Structure 1
Amino acid sequence: MEKIFFNGCIRTLDDAGCVAEAVGIENGKIAFIGTNEEAQKIPSEEKTDLQGRLLLPGFVDTHLHMLHYAFVERSVKLFDCKSVEEALEAAHKRLEEHAGKPLTWLYCRGWNEEHFDEPRYPLKEELDALSKEIPIIMVRVCGHVAVCNTPGLERLKKIPQFAEIAKDVDFETGLLKENAVQFYSSVLEAPSQEEVESYIVYSAKKLNECGFTGVQSDDLASLPGKNWKRIMNAYKALDARGELNVRHYEQCLFERAEDAKAFIEEGYRTGQRGDHFTIGPMKLIQDGSLGARTAAMNESYEDSPGNTGIITFTQEELDDLFAFFDRYQMQAAVHCIGDRAMDMVIEAIAKSPYRKDNAKNRHGIVHCQITNPRILKEMKEHDILAYIQPVFVDLDMNTVEPAIGAHRMEGIYAWKSMLDLGIHASGGSDAPVDSFDAMENIYFAVTRKNIYGEPEEGWIPSERLSVDEAVKLFTKDAAYASYTEDENGTIEIGKNADFVILEKDIYKIDPNEIKTTKVDMTILGGRTVYERKCDINKISR
């Protein structure tokens, strides 16, 4: 056998809940699971003493923006800013750094007015004071609201789709909403394929460091220029060269129905795959965000009377799209935060006349935040997946009730209720909206506390998950969402040897310690793609 890991706590997550001491690898697959005594009798090229450490199936983030994460990391990050002035200063500093080689545009991301000393949005005139020569955009943390300067607005007016997004542009304040934010990327120069590949490699490295061996990522519209074919080619090229260090399941986003249909009519289908790159579901965005008060609600926002948010597609358009997806054997995943958006998507899925004939009909709702008992019952009835983000506990717990009112708090962020009903729920981060740190995400799911350990009993404590349930969101349940439950997600003979080794047994420690637990090693197909400097003992023979 090529490799054996022994003397560990190996939680297989199989249906029987088996816990083993040793696991062996041959040709990238799991070839042995058993005891230390059995492992010692098997000849192996390399044996690794886990010294009691916990070994789990590799983690999978089922909704993030992997390419945009890398792009934001190289842009001006505003996530920690406490005021508009701090955000402006961060942008000014980047412009000064490039004074010798002037920039042609400046992209900034991450401000959140709810964390500002004076809660307000930046203004066009403030960005104009930074530069009237180059486009500057400051995108809110949620990605559904932004502010840009005059040069940015002037370029935006010239794109072919401007007539479609004009209603979401305020020329007085520079404020952009929803599709106007998405289409702003069209005014910026598209990176080369080589640059796109560098973004992918960077993100994969950071994901490996957090124990991830797989992602389900929304990337095709995530970079300037929105050149989705170049992005696909970059992934395929890395995959062909054996340089893609995560198993990637692409959530294919197109903002317009005609573009989504054209993609399918070109022959793309859910499940088409290379070694590590696979075409996943069509991705739709049906409403906005809670922070921007654009999530589609059945009742007005508590703090914004008369405002029920926005929808992207009418019911008739959604019905048509789901019938089309089912006819052409496509899975679909739809961004829905508000209850009205979810109602519309559930109705469209239920009405599709072709769903029963679609082999890829595991349709899902991404985020599923403002649910209620009726919505959850209907999701179970129509077998709709839930792509949830435990990290949103930290982001949203203090802002939800003021936005929607106490009377709508029953059944929101209802992850335990989902699992108890038998809804297939899987875990993600929505990075770069928030961190994809797996240990933090599991901590949030288990404790329902923020990163500082508050409140003591957790926010809506009835929705806390067990450690096992939280781990399965990022392993076994994630595999189901990508039709790979026969290949990944559990440690069983014949499956891919994708593992994460942790420094502590998170099943046994104080749940408050989970968030600081370190990943010691990440293994993809039997190959070590990340190793922390620690004293795991490898014995080569």
Structure 2
Amino acid sequence: MRFFYFSIVFVIFQSCAPEKKSADLLVKNANIYTVNETFDKANSFVVKDGKIVEIGIKPELELKYRIAETYDAKGKTIVPGLIDAHAHLVNLGMTLQDVDLKDTKSFDEIVERVVAFQKEKKTDFILGRGWDQNDWENKEFPTNEMLDSLFPITPVILTRIDGHASIVNSIVLQMAGITADSKMKGGEVIVKDGKPTGVLIDTARENIWSLIPEKDTKYMTEAILDAEQRCLELGLTTVNDAGLDRMAIELIDSLQQAGKMSLRVYAMVSNTPENLEYYLNEKGKIKTDRLNVRSVKVYGDGALGSRGAAMRAPYSDQANHYGAMITETSELQALARRIDSAGFQMNTHAIGDSANISVLRVYDAVLKDRTDARWKVEHAQIVTPSDFEYFSKNIIPSVQPTHATSDMYWAEERIGTKRLNGAYSYNTLLKKAGIVVLGTDFPVEKVNPMHTFYAAVARKDLEFYPEEGFRKKEALSRKETLQGMTTWAAYSNFEENEKGSIETGKFADFTVLDKDIMSIIEDSIPTVKVLATFIDGKKVFEAASNTIQEENKKSSAH
């Protein structure tokens, strides 16, 4: 009789219980930083059709939903899918196909790498990138004499890490028609003893690019997918590519549409006549779930490392040298008006204090009647203190924290103590703008967003130097840094309603970390590893457990 009674109660309970909703994924047992408006934490959420449908606690969600798949985070930290707000995805992919010159300590080492590469690849045209003379004992620009002796007839183009200078051999100079007397507005041919050394700065390189054999679709596809894989392994779910031509944009779109590419891309259109005619006058904005084309990338000036950044006063370490504007103020004004009329966002590279004020004044004039343009100053690297007042949520600083820790060894010598007070000033920019978005500028810097996080918070390099941090007063808090890599970056892309935080209705893009980046010892931040990366609730990367264990052993030993 008792059994019969309980059976009746069970049947009544089951009949009264609401029918479970179907869902694709339950994420449980996690230490989740939602990065919502109140920076709430959670431990579980449910995903359906690529979006987050509910955040709660595991037992309640399991009762409410019929779950197809479960991801048990086992207490690990989850953050919203990380966004790199300024990078060069396609360039990274192409760099991965060429000679890697990063971390070289001399020009001799560069030549060794080129020789080894050519011995293996036997290419008709040698390309490489990543050298930085500031890392060498002799910090002068090199000359191409060794390249000429080793490669008298094979063209060689080796690009500096910042992408604003290259050294080429003499056959390239001849092919491009460049001599010691060549003059280029916005660039420079470095000459020594009356002869070109092979070093070309900024616009002086324009003629050499047409010499490079055109890359076919197969090459470009492999390059893009190689770069995507590197990004996914490091927890990135969206990358802002700061300067793409139509061909690259359309290839990315086709790969995404075919289901071959998961990474989301915010594509800044390169400022060329052909690109502007097509996107501003013909095609207009493009928006899919994975691709967003609504901005134009413009170069204001060059880079500080190659003394191409446009300065108001001469460089402290080179008399009478001011750098140069790549795009003059009058052209900036015309471009800004045209971009604004088309309803596009303008994102302008500005390193030197002269470039920054030129860009800021143009933005301010064009946007005087606009309140939600969200135009960006890319880098905003050296700003005269009085000019910080121009920044706002309408004129957004987009900065790269690892630039500060890469440049800190020589920046003061190059620009002097006074100008350094307005350089790499991320906390000041945040106070003035109310928002600051963070990226890496890879492949100029390494892809790893944990390095971005550490540089922003600690203002140190990976050797924990300097002990007190470089201009530590300009550091960001961990909360601000995470916001700059997620929700603020999404806002700057006009995507705040679909990504950047773990909230109901947004894409289920999230990154699983092996340590709690918000609470661990500061100097442990660079050792944080990505366990898994999810886009649309689908696992697009998972670290091998033995790899993580080995890395953790190394970290503990260190």
- Asked if Structure 1 and Structure 2 have the same fold, meaning a TM-score greater than 0.5 normalized by the shorter chain, the answer is yes
- Cα distance in structure 1, aligned partners of 2:532 and 2:128: 33
> Residues 459 and 81 of structure 1: is their aligned pair in 2 closer, same or farther, counting only changes over 3 Å?
same
Structure 2 matches for 1:383-462, cutoff 5 A? 383-462=394-473
Is 2:94 the partner of 1:71? Answer: yes
Matched residue type, 1:339: D
Secondary structure of the structure 2 residue equivalent to 1:295: coil
Aligned to 2:168: 148
Is 2:210 the partner of 1:186? Answer: yes
Q: Give the conservation status (yes or no) of the 8 Å contact 1:446–1:466.
A: yes
- Cα distance in structure 1, aligned partners of 2:148 and 2:523: 45
Residue 14 of structure 1 deviates from its aligned partner by 0.7
Aligned to 2:10: none
Q: Give the conservation status (yes or no) of the 8 Å contact 1:295–1:309.
A: yes
Structure 2 matches for 1:164-179, cutoff 5 A? 168-170=188-190, 172-179=196-203
Aligned to 1:17: 39
- Cα distance in structure 2, aligned partners of 1:25 and 1:182: 49
Structure 2 matches for 1:296-445, cutoff 5 A? 296-352=310-366, 356=369, 361-380=373-392, 383-445=394-456
- Cα distance in structure 2, aligned partners of 1:472 and 1:275: 21
Residue of structure 1 aligned with 2:489, choices 460, 471, 478: 478
Residue of structure 2 aligned with 1:279, choices 289, 293, 302: 293
- Cα distance in structure 2, aligned partners of 1:51 and 1:394: 34
Q: Give the conservation status (yes or no) of the 8 Å contact 1:244–1:276.
A: no
Residue of structure 2 aligned with 1:89, choices 112, 134, 139: 112
Matched residue type, 1:5: V
Residue of structure 1 aligned with 2:58, choices 30, 36, 39: 36
In angstroms, what is the RMSD of aligned CA positions? 2.0
Secondary structure of the structure 2 residue equivalent to 1:168: strand
Between stretches 245-254 and 520-529, larger displacement belongs to 245-254
Residue 421 of structure 1 deviates from its aligned partner by 2.4
Q: What TM-score results when the alignment is normalised by the length of structure 1?
A: 0.91
Q: Give the conservation status (yes or no) of the 8 Å contact 1:84–1:120.
A: no
> Residues 265 and 35 of structure 1: is their aligned pair in 2 closer, same or farther, counting only changes over 3 Å?
closer
Residue 314 of structure 1 deviates from its aligned partner by 2.2
Aligned to 1:239: 256
Write out per-residue CA displacement over residues 209-236 of structure 1, whole angstroms, 9 at most, x where no aligned residue. 000000100352xxxxxxx343233112
Secondary structure of the structure 2 residue equivalent to 1:284: strand
Matched residue type, 1:211: G
> Residues 497 and 31 of structure 1: is their aligned pair in 2 closer, same or farther, counting only changes over 3 Å?
same
Residue of structure 2 aligned with 1:62, choices 79, 85, 100: 85
Secondary structure of the structure 2 residue equivalent to 1:2: strand
Aligned to 2:303: 289
- Cα distance in structure 2, aligned partners of 1:189 and 1:163: 25
Q: Give the conservation status (yes or no) of the 8 Å contact 1:501–1:520.
A: yes
Unmatched tracts of structure 2, length 5 or more = 1-22, 547-558
- Cα distance in structure 2, aligned partners of 1:265 and 1:36: 48
Residue 397 of structure 1 deviates from its aligned partner by 1.0
Write out per-residue CA displacement over residues 135-193 of structure 1, whole angstroms, 9 at most, x where no aligned residue. 101211111111111221122239xxx98679633562112110233552221111111
Aligned to 1:223: none
Q: Give the conservation status (yes or no) of the 8 Å contact 2:186–2:202.
A: no
Between stretches 273-282 and 13-22, larger displacement belongs to 273-282
Secondary structure of the structure 2 residue equivalent to 1:69: helix
Aligned to 1:502: 513
- Cα distance in structure 2, aligned partners of 1:478 and 1:330: 17
Q: Give the conservation status (yes or no) of the 8 Å contact 2:396–2:433.
A: no
Matched residue type, 1:214: T
Between stretches 371-380 and 61-70, larger displacement belongs to 371-380
Residue of structure 2 aligned with 1:109, choices 121, 129, 132: 129
Is 2:219 the partner of 1:195? Answer: yes
Q: Give the conservation status (yes or no) of the 8 Å contact 1:147–1:176.
A: yes
Aligned to 2:268: 251
Is 2:222 the partner of 1:205? Answer: no
Is 2:147 the partner of 1:127? Answer: yes
Q: Give the conservation status (yes or no) of the 8 Å contact 1:330–1:358.
A: no
Write out per-residue CA displacement over residues 424-482 of structure 1, whole angstroms, 9 at most, x where no aligned residue. 31111111111120111101111011110111111111111111111111100110111
- Cα distance in structure 1, aligned partners of 2:115 and 2:435: 46
- Cα distance in structure 2, aligned partners of 1:177 and 1:288: 8
- Cα distance in structure 1, aligned partners of 2:150 and 2:204: 22
> Residues 281 and 183 of structure 1: is their aligned pair in 2 closer, same or farther, counting only changes over 3 Å?
farther
Q: What TM-score results when the alignment is normalised by the length of structure 2?
A: 0.88
Matched residue type, 2:68: E
- Cα distance in structure 2, aligned partners of 1:107 and 1:63: 23
Secondary structure of the structure 2 residue equivalent to 1:174: strand
Is 2:239 the partner of 1:215? Answer: yes
Residue 500 of structure 1 deviates from its aligned partner by 0.3
Aligned to 1:538: none
> Residues 53 and 397 of structure 1: is their aligned pair in 2 closer, same or farther, counting only changes over 3 Å?
same
Residue 405 of structure 1 deviates from its aligned partner by 0.7
- Cα distance in structure 1, aligned partners of 2:289 and 2:475: 36
Between stretches 208-217 and 311-320, larger displacement belongs to 311-320
Residue 407 of structure 1 deviates from its aligned partner by 1.5
Which structure has the larger Rg over C-alpha atoms? 2
Is 2:28 the partner of 1:6? Answer: yes
Q: Give the conservation status (yes or no) of the 8 Å contact 2:395–2:433.
A: no
- Cα distance in structure 2, aligned partners of 1:419 and 1:133: 52
> Residues 440 and 134 of structure 1: is their aligned pair in 2 closer, same or farther, counting only changes over 3 Å?
same
Secondary structure of the structure 1 residue equivalent to 2:391: helix
Unmatched tracts of structure 1, length 5 or more = 221-227, 536-541
> Residues 172 and 164 of structure 1: is their aligned pair in 2 closer, same or farther, counting only changes over 3 Å?
closer
Residue 347 of structure 1 deviates from its aligned partner by 1.1
Q: Give the conservation status (yes or no) of the 8 Å contact 2:83–2:239.
A: yes
Secondary structure of the structure 1 residue equivalent to 2:401: coil
> Residues 253 and 355 of structure 1: is their aligned pair in 2 closer, same or farther, counting only changes over 3 Å?
farther
